[in-house]
């Protein structure tokens, strides 16, 4: 039991050390936010900035469990905000995802919802790569596009 706790503490220290020296940076949980057990965090943010210091994306999670092997993070209650020229462009939500800090990718088999100014995309399962700004929804993808007045366009050619 003591060895397992020590292994978890070493893994957490490595995770924090990596997070402090490599983007994205794992911020310390806000005051009053608990850290439930070894290997997990609650209430965290992982931001990514471009070379000009502008926010490109940031991931929020209700809880995160750091895997001891491979350095991946299982994020529960994930929300990902995507920015264009410093302004919020879209928000993606999923109940759970696996985030790879090294490759800056996330994936899940669970439901996903992406909300942007004039559209909402939903589906099941996704793969996201921050390096090339690509998102792939694996199945049941549905896109609703809204006109400028905020109402859905009428269906055309559907009986």
CATH number of the domain bearing residue 8: 2.60.450.10
The 10 Å CB-count burial string (b at 16+, else e) for 43-62 is bbbbbbeeeeeeebbbbbbe
Query: For position 88, what pLDDT does the model report?
Result: 95
Burial (CB count <10 Å: 0-12, 13-18, 19+), residue 12 = middle
Spatial separation of the C-alpha atoms in residues 77 and 40, rounded to whole Å:
14
Banded pLDDT at 17 (limits 50, 70, 90): very low
Is residue 159, in this structure, part of any structural domain at all?
Answer: no
Is residue 87, in this structure, part of any structural domain at all?
Answer: yes
Query: For position 149, what pLDDT does the model report?
Result: 64
Tens of pLDDT, residues 82-138: 999 889 999 999 999 999 988 999 999 999 999 998 899 999 999 999 998 899 999
43 in Cβ contact with 33 (< 8 Å): yes
Match 């490109």 to its residue by tokens.
Answer: 56
What sign for the dihedral angle of Cα 17, 31, 112, 143?
negative
Query: For position 72, what pLDDT does the model report?
Result: 87
Peptide bond into 70 cis (omega under 30): no
Is residue 32, in this structure, part of any structural domain at all?
Answer: yes
The pLDDT of 75-86, averaged and rounded, is 94
Among the listed residues 129, 33, 118, 146, the one whose alpha carbon sits nearest the alpha carbon of residue 80: 129
Is residue 134, in this structure, part of any structural domain at all?
Answer: yes
The pLDDT of 61-79, averaged and rounded, is 87
Spatial separation of the C-alpha atoms in residues 42 and 61, rounded to whole Å:
7
How far is Cα of residue 95 from the mean position of the Cα atoms in its chain?
10
Domain count, the chain: 1
153 membership: H or E segment, kind and range: none
How many residues are there in the chain? 159
Residue 37: pLDDT over 90: no
* Its pTM surpasses 0.85: no
Q: What is the span of the domain harbouring residue 14?
A: 2-145
Is residue 153, in this structure, part of any structural domain at all?
Answer: no
Is residue 103, in this structure, part of any structural domain at all?
Answer: yes
Residue 36: pLDDT over 90: no
Spatial separation of the C-alpha atoms in residues 64 and 46, rounded to whole Å:
11
């Amino acid at each position: 039991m003591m060895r397992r706790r020590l292994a978890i503490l070493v893994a957490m220290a490595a995770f924090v050390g990596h997070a402090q020296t490599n983007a994205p940076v794992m911020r310390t949980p806000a005051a009053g936010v608990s850290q439930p057990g070894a290997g997990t965090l609650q209430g965290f943010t992982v931001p990514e900035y471009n070379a000009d210091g502008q926010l490109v994306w940031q991931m929020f999670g209700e809880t995160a469990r750091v895997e001891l092997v491979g350095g991946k993070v299982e994020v529960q209650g994930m929300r990902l905000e995507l920015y264009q020229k410093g302004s919020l462009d879209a928000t993606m939500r999923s109940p759970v995802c696996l985030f790879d800090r090294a490759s800056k990718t996330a994936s899940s088999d669970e439901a996903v919802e992406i909300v942007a100014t004039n559209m909402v995309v939903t589906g099941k399962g996704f793969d996201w790569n921050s390096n090339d700004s690509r998102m792939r929804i694996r199945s049941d993808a549905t896109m609703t596009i809204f006109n400028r007045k905020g109402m859905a366009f009428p269906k055309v050619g559907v009986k």
